[in-house]
Amino acid sequence: MTMSTENGVGGLPVHIHGFALMHVAMRRDARRIATAAPNVTRANAGPVRTWFDQLRDVIEWHHRTEDDVLFPALRDRVADFAAKEKELAHDHTELDQSMADVSTALRGDLGAVPEAARKFETILLDHLAVEEPIVFPVFVDDLTRQQYLDIENQVMRSAGPGMRAFLFPWLFDGVDKRTADAAAAVSIPPPVRLIGNTVLTWRYERLLAPIRRLGEPGATNEG
């Protein structure tokens, strides 16, 4: 069984796809900002900042829920998890700082954005390469399906309305319908799924449009 999201979630059990799709989304958007960064100008920096601030918020929320909900629950249930967790503490700090550096560049020296974005992507990919081989086997081998879902429900309850409005369409951006429907059926209540497929998706697409345009072939930083 594949214990990585480098090539998507196909090799992982469906009940952990919600968590795994967060990592897929992080990989996708780290690539987006790194690709778009050379084309950021004073004229378009505002929408890019707005999008990146939302991305940063959701990744920092993900880290807080790992530190405050997920990892304590795993320590309680899995005897050797505390030792494994120590390998991850520095990674969160370094990754959060790399996102702060991108935000700072977007608000000041735009010439620094490409390097900051490349560094963010590198640190993120390195972080996932460390974290996934640690936590995915614990989810699959040391917890029952229901134990895992109980913890995931605690995590999801910590997301406020504003976070959820971005989180659900963000998770399924670019994901094939079968995978998205299967993951949503496990992790997201039906009424929320309906809203996520309509109003929230429209809002998300408007937020994403500027960064998507800057990453298209032929985009330039002129203007």
Query: What ranges do the domains of the chain cover?
Result: 14-214
State pLDDT tens for residues 46-80.
Answer: 999 999 999 999 999 999 999 999 999 999 999 88
Q: Shortest CA distance to 19 belongs to which of 170, 189, 136, 191?
A: 136
State pLDDT tens for residues 121-151.
Answer: 999 999 999 999 999 999 999 999 999 999 9
Coil vs helix vs strand at 215: coil
Cα angle 59, 151, 29 (rounded to 5 degrees) comes to 20
pLDDT at 192: 52
Q: Which CATH number fits domain 14-214: 1.10.150, 3.90.320, 1.10.3470, 1.20.120?
A: 1.20.120
Q: Say how far apart CA 25 and CA 4 lie, in whole Å.
A: 13
**202 or 57, which is more confident?**
57
Would the pLDDT of 204 be above 70? yes
pLDDT at 194: 47
State the DSSP code for 111: G
pLDDT at 129: 94
pLDDT at 215: 83
